[in-house]
């Protein structure tokens, strides 16, 4: 089956690719193994220079790459360009900091000299998603390549042009052939890759089923994995919060990437004392969003990445309404809608939507909505807010809004998530570890912790 790049804006097929044959895949695995044997011995300073060059290439061509991202998965062009710039940022971070982070760590023990040394493992398989087709890859690749590993990318099948462009960037930056390779293959061939002895570890960002499948395959081979899976992130607002800042940030936090982000705020848990004001202002913000062609600079909400994603999201919304939820704005697919220009009516457009009065036994109360749908929940106090925030199988990140120090401390300590942001929108940062708990996955990316995930943390004892 061909791998196709399909416009989510118009439904037109942009380009098709033939998946790798078994012989071609074998050749790439052999090249990865051969390259690693040489690449791990290249001085760290040189590896960092190549990462710095990759950052330069990204910045110099950010508009071209941004347009490619938007064409393939539909995010507004300004966000796509920002994604490319952030990809450059993570390359620069490890180019500038890897030497210090990978230095031997001296430890006093019962001998004259003992220390920790960080060494690479080999070829790392990255199974990456379509929603941030550049950023997700670079946040894996930059630390892995700095350490001396080599990368094999199995990208989402709807962003093949982005996947190939990333390989070209590393080649242009000067990294040896085989250091980073894109594998145009279907998901059904991932298990055979995991079983190959030349693959030493794997990382996946994606859905729970995809993560469970890869983790099971890796478990049989006793291979290290890092998983960044779904999220139903809470956005808790208490009466002392700066309401205007909270509402403005709430709209942005839900709509970023057309609502298709694991760390997007999804459940807005608001104290009853301010809920009416919050609801009114959030509805106004959602209704003011400009829906349209994501290549136009004034568009704020573009199409969902695929027709199936749109269908699944609409089904979730309709099920929630059948279970007693109330829609405050939006709530119906825009496919075929006369509110859109004729050329966009077959695109995967869904309006900014707010649901409230969600029953605790409704699936919507705990599941993830991967699109521009906000769930508004009212609570009497902080105890109830924390209880509802944690009443989900996910634990990726959370945002809490309060100016009361005691409330802030409780949110930090009691919210079950891999990250808690107080009075700010959840975001990833190359300097800080990123990852979740519970069914949102395990392991960490970024920061020093992400650098060490695919390292042999070797203890050395010398007498």
pLDDT digits (tens, 9 = 90+) for 20-35: 999 999 999 999 999 9
pLDDT at 125 over 80: yes
> Quick check: 18 pLDDT over 90?
yes
Q: Are 343 and 10 in contact (CB under 8 A)?
A: yes
Q: Report the pLDDT averaged over residues 187-194.
A: 96
List Cα–Cα distances, 179 to 52, 174, 325, 452, in angstroms.
16, 10, 51, 19
Annotated catalytic residue: which of 72, 79, 83, 228? 228
How far is C-alpha 451 from the chain's CA centre?
Answer: 17
Q: Supply the pLDDT for residue 57.
A: 99
CATH 3.40.605.10 boundaries in the chain: 3-229+440-462
Average pLDDT, the chain: 97
Q: Which one, of 205, 267, 278, 291, lies nearest residue 241 by Cα?
A: 278
CA-angle at 385, arms to 250 and 391, nearest 5°: 100
Identify the CATH assignment for 233-428 out of 3.40.120.10, 3.40.50.2300, 3.40.309.10, 3.40.50.2000: 3.40.309.10
Question: For the residues 330-348, what does the mean pLDDT come to?
Answer: 96
37 catalytic per annotation: no
Question: What's the confidence (pLDDT) of residue 99?
Answer: 98
Give this prediction's pTM. Answer: 0.97
- Give yes or no for a contact between 428 and 446, defined as CB atoms under 8 angstroms apart: yes
Beta-carbon count within 10 A of 410 CB: 17
Report the alpha-carbon distance of residue 58 to residue 54 in Å, rounded: 6
E-state strands within 62-176: 105-106, 113-120, 123-127, 150-154
| Averaged pLDDT for residues 285-302 | 97
Looking at residue 1, what is its pLDDT? 76
Give the pairing type, strands 326-329 and 353-356: antiparallel
pLDDT given for residue 236 in this prediction: 98
Residues 155, 141: Cα–Cα separation, whole Å? 13
- What is the Cα–Cα distance from 211 to 442, expressed in whole angstroms? 10
């390779």: which residue's tokens?
181
- Is residue 91 part of the annotated active site? The answer reads no
Q: Is the pLDDT of residue 163 over 90?
A: yes
Question: b vs e for 356-377, b when ≥16 Cβ sit within 10 Å of the residue's Cβ?
Answer: bbbeeebebbbbbbbbbbbbbb
Query: What span, in angstroms and rounded, lies between the C-alpha atoms of 156 and 136?
Result: 11
Among candidate residues 72, 91, 262, 367, the one labeled active-site is 262
Dihedral over alpha carbons 20, 21, 27, 29 (to 10 degrees): 60
DSSP H helices in 261-327: 272-287, 307-322
In the chain, ranges of CATH 3.40.309.10 domains: 233-428
In this model, does residue 73 exceed pLDDT 90?
yes
Euclidean distance between CA atoms 122 and 46, whole angstroms? 18
| CATH dotted code for 3-229+440-462 | 3.40.605.10
């Amino acid at each position: 089956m061909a791998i196709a790049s399909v416009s989510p804006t118009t439904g037109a097929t942009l380009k098709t690719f033939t998946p790798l044959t078994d012989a071609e895949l074998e050749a790439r695995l052999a090249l990865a193994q051969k390259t690693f044997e040489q690449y791990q011995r290249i001085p760290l300073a040189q590896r960092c220079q190549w990462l710095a060059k990759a950052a330069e290439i990204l910045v110099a061509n950010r508009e071209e790459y941004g347009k490619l991202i938007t064409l393939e998965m539909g995010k507004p062009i300004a966000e796509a360009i920002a994604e490319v710039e952030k990809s450059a940022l993570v390359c620069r971070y490890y180019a500038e900091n890897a030497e210090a982070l990978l230095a031997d760590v001296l430890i006093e023990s019962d001998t004259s000299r003992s220390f920790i040394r960080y060494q690479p493992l080999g070829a790392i398989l990255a199974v990456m998603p379509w929603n941030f087709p550049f950023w997700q890859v670079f946040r894996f690749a930059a630390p892995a390549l700095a350490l001396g590993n080599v990368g094999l990318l199995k990208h989402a099948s709807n962003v093949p042009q982005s996947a190939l462009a990333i390989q070209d960037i590393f080649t242009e930056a000067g990294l040896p052939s085989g250091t980073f390779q894109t594998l145009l293959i279907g998901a059904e061939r991932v298990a055979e890759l995991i079983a190959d002895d030349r693959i030493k570890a794997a990382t996946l960002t994606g859905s729970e089923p995809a993560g469970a499948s890869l983790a099971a395959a890796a478990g049989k081979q006793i291979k290290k994995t890092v998983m960044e899976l779904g999220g139903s992130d809470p956005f808790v607002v208490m009466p002392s919060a700066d309401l205007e800042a909270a509402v403005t940030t709430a709209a942005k936090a839900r709509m970023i990437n057309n609502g298709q982000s694991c760390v997007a705020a999804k459940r807005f848990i608001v104290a009853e004392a301010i809920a009416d004001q919050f609801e009114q202002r959030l509805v106004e913000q959602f209704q003011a969003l400009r829906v349209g062609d994501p290549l136009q600079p004034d568009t704020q909400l573009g199409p969902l990445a695929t027709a199936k994603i749109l269908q699944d999201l609409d089904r979730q919304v309709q099920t929630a309404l059948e279970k007693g939820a109330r829609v405050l704005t939006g709530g119906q697919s825009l496919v075929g809608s006369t509110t859109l220009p004729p050329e966009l009516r077959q695109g995967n457009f869904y309006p900014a939507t707010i649901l409230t009065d969600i029953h605790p036994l409704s699936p919507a109360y705990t599941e993830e909505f991967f699109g521009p749908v906000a769930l508004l929940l009212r609570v009497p106090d902080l105890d109830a807010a924390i209880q509802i925030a944690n009443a989900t199988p996910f634990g990726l990140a959370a945002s809490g809004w309060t100016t009361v120090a005691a409330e802030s401390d409780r949110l930090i300590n009691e919210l079950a998530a891999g990250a808690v942001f107080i009075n700010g929108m959840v975001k990833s940062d190359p300097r800080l570890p990123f990852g979740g708990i519970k069914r949102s996955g395990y392991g960490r990316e970024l920061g020093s912790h992400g650098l060490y995930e695919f390292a042999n943390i070797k203890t050395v004892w010398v007498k």
